[in-house]
Amino acid sequence: MGKAIIASFKWLGFGFLDPLVKLFQGVEPKKNGGLLLKKVIIPILSVLIFLAVCNFFSQYLYNVERERKIENTRATQGEEAALTMQECIDSGDLSCKPNSLPSPGDVWHAAQTLIADHRLISADKEAFKEKTAAINAQREKQGLEAIRYTGRPSFVDQIFTSLETVFAGFLLAAFLAIPAGIVLGLSETLRSSLNWVIQIFKPVSPVVWLLLVSMVVKTILASADMDKSFVISFISVGLCSMWATLVNTSVGVSSVDKDYLNVSRVLRLGVMSNVFKVILPSSVPLIFTGLRITLSVAWMVLIAIELLAQSPGLGSFVWEEFQNGANDSNAKIIVAMFVIGGIGFALDRIMMLVQKAVSFESKA
């Protein structure tokens, strides 16, 4: 039982929890207690220290901002207005709150606000659906398009939009890079002839890719009735992130163990079965390493691309909040930052599990 729990924790990448399980079972309490301290308790403490430092720093920035605001009022509107301003700030009134780095508490509140907002919008959506159900059924009969909810998306909706975009981009990258990588890996000539192009394209910034893609998409889809910003952003994400997979696949395919190739030659395997039975299986671990890098790059550039392409998602959420400048905007941006980080981490873990599942143990 305990072994199974530990094994599954390890498989999921939660290996650091196994001292805890062992402690519960009473196995080697001294050693496992030490391990628990090192692997779980100290990391938790360090997070708490991080929060405390943040809190202190934001408090400091707040005070600086407060002083400046009062001084400014004094200089422009005189002593009386300055005193009123000071009172207003100290009373905690939102209308005159100085705009600075939010404290962890503010961020927590903002997160709750965002969730409440999501509930509100979902309820609104449901109500809208109910209200329009009858009309939509009628319109469908007449061959007309259904009336859709056009209210603003909630934060959670934005997350899902971003995930959709990154997933589309990731699939595009995989579909482009894996076959291309195989072909490049098989042909030395092709590899060296395209090497420069690849090396030049690889470090190009996501912003430039976005502009390039929009130049092309704008023309091709000029008349098409579809969400152009989504198309542009997912293609840009795909193009930015595909290089890791391309390079890894071609390296994997070109560096197949010579012994395996000898086996295939002795058996006189045809080109196709050589590729599918020997070369591809042996390069699977490298291909998946590439895909894992691709996914994390895709998620990272996605935010910047959404921000610029005006495509809905977390990126535009951050940008809108920044432009908005409401008194809790900064806190919302930081909430988004943590959500982005958390999702990126989760995606990486998922890819790691897939990679583990499809890879064989090293050379036999």
Partner 1 sequence: MAAFLELRNVSKSYGQGAHRVDVLKNINLTIEEGEFIAIVGFTGSGKTTLISLIAGLIQPDEGEIWLKGKKITAPGPDRGVVFQNYSLLPWLSVSGNVDMAVKQVFPKMNKTEREEHVARYISMVNLTPALHKKPTELSGGMRQRVSVARALAMDPEILLLDEPLSALDALTRGSLQIEIERIWRESKKTILLITNDVDEGILLADRVIPLTPGPKATLGTEFPIGFKRPRDKAAINADPNFKKERNGINNYLMEIGKHRSATNNRKYDLPYVDPILPPLKSLI
Nearer to partner 1, 183 or 284 (CB): 284
Q: At what angle do helices 2-12 and 329-358 cross, to 10 degrees?
A: 110
Largest CA distance in the chain: 95
Token readout for 341 is 């980080």
Closest CA to 207 of 293, 312, 315: 315
DSSP secondary structure string, 272-331? HHIIIIIIHHHHHHHHHHHHHHHHHHHHHHHHHHHHHHT-SSHHHHHHHHHHH--TTHHH
Task: Identify which range of 26-34, 96-104, 192-200, 280-288 contacts partner 1 by CB under 8 A.
Answer: 280-288
277 interacts with partner 1 by CB under 8 A: yes
Nearer to partner 1, 31 or 356 (CB): 356
Among 267, 346, 350, 353, binds partner 1 (CB under 8 A): 267
Residues 6+ apart with CB under 8 A from 236: 169, 206, 209, 210, 212, 213, 214, 301, 305, 309
Nearer to partner 1, 168 or 278 (CB): 278
Task: Identify which range of 32-40, 246-254, 272-280, 343-351 contacts partner 1 by CB under 8 A.
Answer: 272-280
Among 68, 265, 345, 356, binds partner 1 (CB under 8 A): 265
Shortest reach from residue 189's CB to partner 1, in Å: 21
Shortest reach from residue 285's CB to partner 1, in Å: 10
Nearer to partner 1, 287 or 303 (CB): 287
Shortest reach from residue 281's CB to partner 1, in Å: 5
Nearer to partner 1, 202 or 265 (CB): 265
What 8-state DSSP symbol labels residue 276? Answer: I
Give the total of residues touching partner 1 (CB under 8 A).
20
Nearer to partner 1, 172 or 278 (CB): 278
Closest CA to 230 of 212, 241, 243, 217: 217
Among 61, 163, 211, 269, binds partner 1 (CB under 8 A): 269
Task: Identify which range of 61-69, 151-159, 246-254, 265-273 contacts partner 1 by CB under 8 A.
Answer: 265-273
Nearer to partner 1, 105 or 270 (CB): 270
How many separate helices (H) and strands (E) can be counted in the chain?
15, 0
Q: Is residue 318 within 8 Å of 333, Cβ to Cβ?
A: yes
Find the binding residues for partner 1 in span 223-262 (CB under 8 A): 259-260, 262
Residue 14 neighbours by CB distance under 10 Å: 13
Using the structure block, give the residue that is written with the tokens 């997070």. Answer: 47
263 interacts with partner 1 by CB under 8 A: yes
CA distances, 140 to each of 12, 134, 151, 165, 262 (Å):
47, 10, 22, 29, 63
User: Which residues of the chain form contacts with partner 1 (CB under 8 A)?
Assistant: 259-260, 262-263, 265-269, 273, 277-278, 281-282, 284, 360-364
